[in-house]
Every structure is written in C-alpha cells, then in structure tokens.
A and B are shown apart, each in its own frame.
Chain A
Amino acid sequence: MRAPRILRTLAFRIVAVYLAIFAISAAAIVGFTYWNTARALNAQTDQIVDSDIFGLAERYQRFGLAGLTTTIVNRSAHGEATLYLLADSDKRPIVGNLDSWPNLSELGGNFVEFDYEKRVGGRTEERRARGRQFTLTGGFLLLVARDIAERYETEKLFTTTLPWSVLLMMLLGLFGGILISRNFLARLDVINRTSREIMAGDLSRRLPLKRGGDELDTLALNLNRMLERTERLMRGMREVTDSIAHDLRTPLNRLRNRLEGVLHTMDPQSAPGAEIEAAVEETDRLIGTFNALLLIAEAEAGVAREAMEQLDLRRIVDGVAELYAPLADEKEIILFIPPSGSAIVACNQSLVSQALANLLDNAIKYTPPGGRVTISLDHTPGGVALQVADSGPGIPAEDRARVLERFVRLEASRHSPGTGLGLSLVAAVARLHDAKLDLGDNRPGLKATLLFPAVTRRTPAIPQITAQKMAVRS
C-alpha cells in the first residue's frame, strides 16, 4: 500500500524534517536550562547547609556535645526549612527535628538527597531533603540538611511534562504541515494541470498568476516565458514549413508541368519521349519524398493536434485493410484480421490511416507469397494496441531503432521501391499521438505495435469533424 498522497509531498516532508529538528533543539535547550538551574539551586542549598555546619562545628569545638545539643534544639525550634539530627553510633536519635535517622546511601561527607517523614497537622507526609552527615568523635552521627520538597516537586513536574509538551508540539506542527502542504499542493496542482493541458496541444494557454509574486508565482512566470518562447519557435517552424512548401513545391510543380507539356508534343514510343516520361516519374518520386518529409515535420511539430478527434480505430483498421486486401490477395498473402470490439482513441484520422497504410504496405511488400499478415486490435492495460505482424524476413534486433530514422533503408530492401521515410512517418505519428511504437520479432517476421494511450475523461473536448465532411462529395 502506498502512503497517502499528502505524506509524499515535498512541502510535507520539509515541514516534517523542520519539525524534527525544532523538537530536538527545543528539548535540548529546555533540558540544558533545567540542568543548569538545578545545579545552581543545589549549589545554593549546599552553601547554606555548609555554613550551618560550619557554625555547628564551631559550637562543638568550644562547648562540646552539650553545646552542640543546645544549639541544635534552638535552631530546630526556629527553622522549618533546615533539618538537624544528632544520633548515637547506632543511629538512635538524640536531638533534632527529624524523628528517625533516614535511610542514606552515602556515609561519607558528601551531599546526598533523601526522603523523610514530616508531620503536618495530623498527617505525615514524605518530603525530599538534601544534606550531609558527619561522624563526630565518640561515634556520634550528625546530619544537617535542607528541605527541598518544593523544588523537587517542580523538577518532577518538569521531567514528566517535557515529553508530553514535545509530543504536543509535534502534533501541532504536523497539523500545520498538513495545512501548509495542502495549500501548497493546491497551487502546484493548478500548475501541473495547466501544464498537462498545454502539452496536450493548446500552446496559447498560460499558467495563472497570483498577485503575491512569491516563489510559485516566479516559477509560473518563468514557465509562461518558456511557453512564449516555445510558441514563438513553433510558429516560426510552421512558417518555415509553410514557406518551404510554397517556395520549393511551386518550382517542382512547374518542372513537372513543363515536362508533361513537352511529353504531350512527343511520341511516347521514341527514345526522348521515354526519357521525358521517366523524368516525370522521377519528379513525382521527388515530390512524394518531399511530401512525406513535410508530413513528418508537421506531425513532429504537433501542428496536426488541432485536427484530432475521438475515433474508432476499428473503423480505420477495417478501411485500410479493405483497401490493401486485393494487393495481399495478388501476392497470395493471407490478410488476417481477428475480430475485436471498438477501440476509441483521440487521433488524427488521416495521419493514423497513413501510418497504418505504411505498416501494411511494408508488411505486404516484404512477406513472401503464401505468407501471412495479421492486423490486430487489442485492449491492453497500457492502452489500445494496434499491431501489424507479418511472416517476412523481419528486421534484425540491432537495426530496429535505426530503421525509424529518416532515409534509412536496410541493405536487403535497397532495391525495392520506397522513400525510406515510411517508418519514420509512423514513428512521428506515434509521437504526435503519445503512442508507443515498438518493433518486435514475430518469429519469423516483423511485429510492429502502436500502443495508443486509453482515452481519459480529462481530454479536452475536440471538435468532431466527420469523415463525410472532409470528403469531396461527388
């Protein structure tokens, strides 16, 4: 299963990474502050305790155990926050404001934290304290500490809430990230959708701009400039194509007509007559090559996209097959067309018919008498597959890409008629229709497949031009 689309977006991933870094840094800063504050507070407590101890030590030196005891009693009576306890070597309390000797892990002179019980009103409550203990001469034990319960509670509160706050922050950030991504995605979607529509043929369209002038607007603006350039280039190319058509075909036309004019005044049986007739034929071939080149150029420029309509390939196949059937028949080739349902694709009828005619013409030309040519139409997961398969010699795998180039003719076919542009045109028509042209092995023979993309609902409506309207009525 794929992750939901929102999780795969760039905006979301950026937000997620940012959030992770932010959470880690925030936790680190708060953690450091906490540690530093705790250390300072401890140092303060320790200093108070130490000065207390210093006072008690002085008393002890001057007045002995009795003096110490009196001082402890006095001090215990005043301060609530400072805890004193003098005990004998068996930890039995002698004097102080602690009821019993607490359970201490450390027996040396270092500071330790421990829990003790304190009576508040009628109840006893467990509280936290921090202090030092000493062993006096005679085996007596002295403990001086300060109550740090409040600070301890705050600390505990802090350590338990920190993970939750980070989690909450992450959740809020996630929510924000989704919001930002959706907003961002909506605008990118507009750009993507418009680009697709433009690629489908309408080069005059432009991406919408917002007034903000942010990065996405800059992107759209740049794309629009690129489109303008492309449109200008396409227009230029079209103008060049048109003027080549006009300027070169017109003299060719004249040449042909003059030759034909001369031919009419001559005896076609005479040697010069036959020469002129051959020259007319040669001119016709030249014109044919020229027309094929122009057609390829036009198909490649995408000019013919304007003349696309939703058509049934079935009808095109049947029509072209019917046209070529007698040709196959004459060569004793079986033209096999497996039955199939309709297959609607967006196409230019004239160009697809021409492409199919080129494939079929090749197939019949190269298949030996008694062979078989199959034209099939199949619905595949990748779209509609139009396939022409023959039982001729085929094309060696290493030459298959090459034969789609212009004017390439393989050694084997050099002596049969043709311009060397047939398959190039098929390839150009395929590109125009976003179709895939594949030349494969039919064992034996060539298997040429045109895979048309299935018609989607998003394809913009194309004006319906029926074959009847295009035809010259007679």
Chain B
Amino acid sequence: MRILVIEDDPEAQRYLVNGLKEAGHVVDDAADGDTGLTLALSRQYDLAIVDRMLPGLDGLKLVGEIREHGNSMPVLFLSALSEIDERVKGLKAGGDDYLTKPYAFAELLARIEALMRRRHPASVKTQLQVGDLELDLLTRTAKRNGSAIDLQPREFRLLEYLMRHAGQVVTRTMLLESVWEYHFDPQTNVIDVHISRLRAKIDKGFEAPLLHTVRGAGYMIRARA
C-alpha cells in the first residue's frame, strides 16, 4: 500500500515511516504542508497520514485543498492538540479519522487497516462468518456451530464490528469510538468487561476460541489458520 506521511517532527516522522515500512507499506514523506500538497496531488496514494500542526500550509487547510482537487483518498489526522473540538474540526475539514498523540503504533496500524477496508468495501454483505461463527445482519441473529447465541443489541454491534475486522487488531479506543460512539477516557477498562461477556457467549464450551486478546494492543477475532 502507498502511504503519504506529512509530519514535521523528524523523530516522529522517522518512527512513523520505519514502522509503516516494517508493516509492509510503501511510504513517501514530507516535512511541511506545501511539499505534502505537491506530493498528494502529483502521485497516487492509498492513504495519507497528516499531522494537524504543520509549518507552511496547516494540516486542516492542506486536507481542504486535497479535497478541493477532487482527491478522495482516506486521510488520517495525527494531532497533539487535545480532543474536545479539534476532532470535530479535523473531520469537518475532510479527514476520515483522528488520532491523538501519543498513540500506540498498534492503534495506528489497526486504524489504517480499518480505513483501507472502508475504501474497498466488499460486496454488500448480509452475512458475516468467522470459522463456525455466523452473524446474520438482516435477522440480527448469531449462530455458532449451528446453535443460536442470544446477544444483547450492544453485544451484537460489538461482535459485528469485530467480525467486520476479522483477522485484524481492533483497539479498545476503536471499539469505544465505533460501537459506543464515545470519545473519552473510560477510566477503568470497561471495554474488557464487555469483551469478556461476549467471549463467554461465543467461545464458552468450544474447543477453539475465536476472540483473542492481543497483548498491548487490543482484540482480534480470527478462526484458527
């Protein structure tokens, strides 16, 4: 995947570029807004990661310009500015996601992957399947190995999100933002409690667990390879 990184802090840029390359992406980088804009408009990228505060052309204006040129590649904002109203400004300016520094790299990778999936949606699915776990989005029912699982509405949404991102790490923050639509710090890890309840419903009594905890990152649903 070709990713454009526009970040002015050299260390943060180096770290970002190296991490993304390690994860198998092709990366171009720019240290200021004007160079970033030139690159974004002259080459084809699958995704851009843009720092919110840049010398020269500011991050928000940069994305506005990119959008004005009819370019719709996904843009992820990185920002050290706090959340309260900056997130809204970022998304209004045309960003697709907003990640506050400091972030865990796993979080960034998980979000990049989620953005890419959104860009290339598979044919509209009414059924999701991971191993012998099936989710019917029309009847809102779940089955494992043929027997029905009773899920609360929120548990259904949680499982749906995990299954849409099957084989991919999903962070606690992503779950809180997507399933609960919250952008705040829930103090205690309440998400863990919700996951363990879901796990009890879908994995209990089965030999091969589907819902896995990824150390230092989050969760992943995946059938044994």
Interface residues of A (CB under 8 A from B): 241-242, 245-246, 249-250, 252-254, 256-257, 260, 263, 268, 277, 280, 287-288, 291-292, 294-295, 298, 303-304, 306-307, 319, 322-324, 326-327, 330, 348, 350-351, 353-354, 357-358, 361, 364-365, 417-418, 422, 465, 467-474
Query: Which residues of B from 91 to 112 have beta carbons under 8 Å from A?
Result: 91, 96-98, 101-105
Q: Confirm or deny: B178 has a beta carbon within 8 angstroms of a beta carbon on chain A.
A: yes
* In the assembled complex, B184 has its CB within 8 A of some CB on chain A: yes
Residue in A249, A323, A354, A468 whose beta carbon sits within 8 Å of that of B102 in the complex? A249
B85 touching A306 by the CB < 8 A rule? yes
B8-16, B126-134, B140-148 - interface stretch: B8-16
Q: 11 extra interchain contacts, Cβ-Cβ under 8 A, other than A298-B82, A472-B97, A474-B164?
A: A253-B101, A257-B102, A260-B216, A298-B84, A306-B85, A323-B182, A326-B193, A354-B185, A470-B87, A470-B91, A472-B174
> What residues of chain A lie closer than 8 Å to B154, measured between beta carbons?
322
- B residues engaging A (CB < 8 A)? 9, 11-12, 15, 53, 80-85, 87-88, 91, 96-98, 101-105, 114, 118, 154, 161, 164-165, 174, 177-178, 180-188, 190, 193-194, 197, 215-216
Q: Which residues of B contact A260 (CB under 8 A)?
A: 104-105, 216
- Asked whether A303 lies within 8 Å of B9 as measured between CB atoms, the reply is no
Q: Across the interface, which residues of B come within 8 angstroms of A245, CB to CB?
A: 80-82
Partner of B101, one of A249, A304, A323: A249
Closest A residue to B198 using CB positions? A326
Q: Which residues of A contact B105 (CB under 8 A)?
A: 257, 260
Across chains A and B, the number of contacting residue pairs, with CB separation under 8 Å, is 125
Q: Are A350 and B183 in contact (CB under 8 A)?
A: yes
4 closest pairs, A vs B, by CB?
Answer: A253-B102, A354-B184, A361-B187, A246-B80
Determine the chain A residues whose CB is within 8 A of the CB of B81 once the complex forms: 242, 245-246
Q: Which residue of B lies closest to A364 (CB)?
A: B188
Q: Which residues of A contact B182 (CB under 8 A)?
A: 319, 323, 350, 353
Contact B85 A303 (CB under 8 A): yes
A250 to B12, CA, bound (A): 8
B87 x A326 contact (CB < 8 A) = no
Cα–Cα distance between A245 and B180 once the two chains are bound (Å): 26
Of the residues B82, B180, B215, contact of A294 by C-beta under 8 Å: B82
Contact of B84 (CB < 8 Å), options: A246, A303, A417: A303
| Complex interface: chain B residues within 8 A of A327 (CB) | 188, 190, 193
The reply to whether B184 and A350 contact each other, CB–CB distance below 8 Å, is yes
Residue in contact with B197 in the complex, picked from A288, A319, A326, CB distance below 8 Å: A326
From A245, A253, A418, name the one whose CB has the most chain B CB atoms within 10 angstroms: A253
Asked if A474 and B83 make an inter-chain contact with CB atoms under 8 angstroms apart, the answer reads: no
A256 to chain B, nearest CB (A): 5
Determine the chain A residues whose CB is within 8 A of the CB of B12 once the complex forms. Answer: 250, 253-254
Q: Contacts A253-B101, A254-B15; is A292 near B82 (CB within 8 Å)?
A: no
